[in-house]
């Protein structure tokens, strides 16, 4: 797999099982990504980028995509980057 031109970003935190699922998929697909750290007690950072407070959120600057929901993210990654 060739990595996308612009680096993918994942808003996440370590203890979040939904975030782990997304990180594992990125690794499985051999994708480089920037892990944007979200404070589990302060969602300001993810709210700014996505308009909602849940993590994970994928940002794909290659397609102007900002996406919450781990299952949707996994499906998107498989569709675009496998």
Give how many residues touch ligand GSH by CB under 6 A: 9
d(CA 59, CA 34): 10
The least CB distance from residue 58 to ligand GSH, in Å, is 10
- Tell me: does residue 54 bind ligand GSH (CB under 6 A): yes
Contacts of 40 (CB under 8 A, 6+ apart): 13, 15, 16
Using CB under 6 A, pick the residue from 8, 31, 55, 58 that binds ligand GSH.
Answer: 55
**Residue 12, interface with ligand GSH (CB under 6 A)?**
no
DSSP helix/strand/coil, 49:
helix
Binding of ligand GSH by 70 (CB under 6 A): yes
* Interatomic CA distance for residues 43 and 53, integer angstroms: 6
By CB under 6 A, name the binding residues for ligand GSH. Answer: 16, 18, 53-56, 69-71
């Amino acid at each position: 797999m060739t990595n996308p031109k612009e680096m993918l970003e994942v808003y996440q935190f370590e203890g979040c099982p939904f975030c782990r699922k997304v990180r594992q998929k990125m690794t499985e697909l051999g994708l480089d990504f920037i892990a944007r750290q979200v404070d589990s007690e302060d969602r300001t950072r993810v709210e700014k980028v996505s308009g909602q407070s849940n993590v994970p959120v994928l940002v794909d600057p290659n397609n102007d995509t900002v996406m919450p929901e781990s299952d949707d993210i996994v499906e998107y990654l498989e569709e675009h980057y496998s």
